[in-house]
Amino acid sequence: MTRFVALLRGINVGGKNLIRMSDLKACFEANGFRRVRTYIQSGNVLFESAGGAGTLAPRIEGMLTSTFDYPASVVLRTRRQMRAIVDHAPRGFGAEPAKYRYDVLLLKEPLTAKSALASVPTREGVDRVHAGTGVLYFARLTAKASQSRLSRLVSMPIYREMTIRNWNTTTTLLEMLEEGPAD
């Protein structure tokens, strides 16, 4: 069994696609996933399953679409992948939370960090973005956050191929994944 986190896009945001975490957990359990846990309302589901992300992601999207009647989109990461995301963050990423807001843009396959990097808007002197494996690391100056171009990303077509989590959520999800048995 492998430990995964399913990062759901577009739920409980702006009053749309409202899903209670208890209902989400029940849906995963009813579909045979084991050791299911949720974390905060933005749609983070930790679970164990046999099989790979390539087959699990469409299966999960289908079950969520049919159960909750919305066009589900899911980015899956294993415990090992989340460990690599945290371990391979740019030097100092997350280290100055009073000065910067830190986000991780988790990319849905087949989107690569290299191609996403070319499409993600930034403002010089405000935003910094770095490519990782399957992610972009995005930092913006807190004092100039209103000038950041990150908010423009949500209106771009590429946004449908990613989901965003802040650094604290990303590291907390890793901690939660590591509480389970090694895979």
Average pLDDT over residues 131-145: 96
Percentage, residues of the chain above pLDDT 70: 96
* Residues 116 and 58 grouped into a single domain: no
Q: Which domain holds residue 162?
A: 82-167
**Torsion, Cα of 39, 41, 43, 48 (10° steps):** 30
Residue 181 has pLDDT above 70, yes or no: no
Number of domains forming the structure of the chain:
2
Q: What is the pLDDT at residue 51?
A: 82
Q: What is the mean pLDDT of the chain?
A: 92
* Residues 90 and 59 grouped into a single domain: no
Q: Pick the range with the lowest mean pLDDT from 15-29, 120-134, 163-177.
A: 15-29
**Taking the chain, what is the end-to-end CA distance rounded to the nearest angstrom?**
6
For the chain, how many residues are written? 183
Domain-located, residue 30? yes
Domain-located, residue 118? yes
Report the CATH number that the domain containing residue 139 is assigned in CATH. Answer: 3.30.70.1260
Residue 182 has pLDDT above 60, yes or no: no
Instruction: Tell me the pLDDT tens digit for each residue of 20-60.
Output: 899 999 999 999 999 999 999 888 999 999 988 889 999 99
